[in-house]
Structure 1
């Protein structure tokens, strides 16, 4: 029995914070929550960007490992954008968002990998330039 059923003073459409809510029935959040999240995201994004520039321009880590470190920072940057700006979480009401994101990533990988495959295939089957020049009249 929920609090709204047991307490006649509460209106029926007011949700108690302790109740289990269906997606879309959450109580409205105050505006400061969104501003605080955006500021946290902005701060993390700035730290990751500055860290990437400092890492690339210094000798903090072993030089051949710099591309790997930059890739890790880029993935962290994408995670910050997804969570703080696009509000993609693992909650039950975000299943469609996560599936759409996964499909978008799949399409990007198919396009990029397919383009690389086509270009490498063309490169292997292309006639060398000196032979091509000999064929011209």
Structure 2
């Protein structure tokens, strides 16, 4: 089998001049970058305003809201600046990114779960302070 035969059936994306066509590849445009930039600014300004204006009183709710804005901003960066979508490389880039995110989330959740339970089950109670930390009694003079 010659080298020409191997490359002839490789992708079949050649035109009459022998150039490759990648219609589904990333296309960078100024307007695409500006949309990504504006979304990034908005997704940064809103959480900043929420925190500085003390709009969210509950700490748990604040963490959830700020986390949601962070996740949306990551997605905006992946789509607008990294040009990740389901079409590039047959979807493998997106699939590998999803796998990585799930793997990291499981690792973080598992680590927090182990540390919380280790702290709960292994640490001595803090009810009895060591004598060195107790306040000295002042004797009346």
Q: Taking structure 1 as the reference length, what is the TM-score of the superposition?
A: 0.62
Structure 1 residues without counterparts, runs of 5 or longer: 1-10, 16-23
Residue aligned with 2:97, SS: helix
- Paired positions, count: 113
Shift of 1:113: 1.1
Give the number of the structure whose residues are more often helix, by fraction. Answer: 1
Structure 2 residues without counterparts, runs of 5 or longer: 1-14, 132-141
- 1:96-122 CA-to-partner distances (Å, cap 9, x unmatched) read 111111111122112111111211221
Given the superposition, is the C-alpha separation of residues 113 and 101 from structure 1 closer, same or farther in structure 2, using an over 3 Å criterion? same
Given the superposition, is the C-alpha separation of residues 106 and 68 from structure 1 closer, same or farther in structure 2, using an over 3 Å criterion? closer
Given the superposition, is the C-alpha separation of residues 97 and 121 from structure 1 closer, same or farther in structure 2, using an over 3 Å criterion? same
For the 8 Å contact 1:88–1:94, the answer to whether it is kept is: no
Q: 2:78 aligns with which of 63, 73, 82?
A: 82
For the 8 Å contact 2:24–2:88, the answer to whether it is kept is: no
Q: Taking structure 2 as the reference length, what is the TM-score of the superposition?
A: 0.61
Aligned residue number for residue 70 of structure 1: 66
| Larger Cα-atom Rg | 2
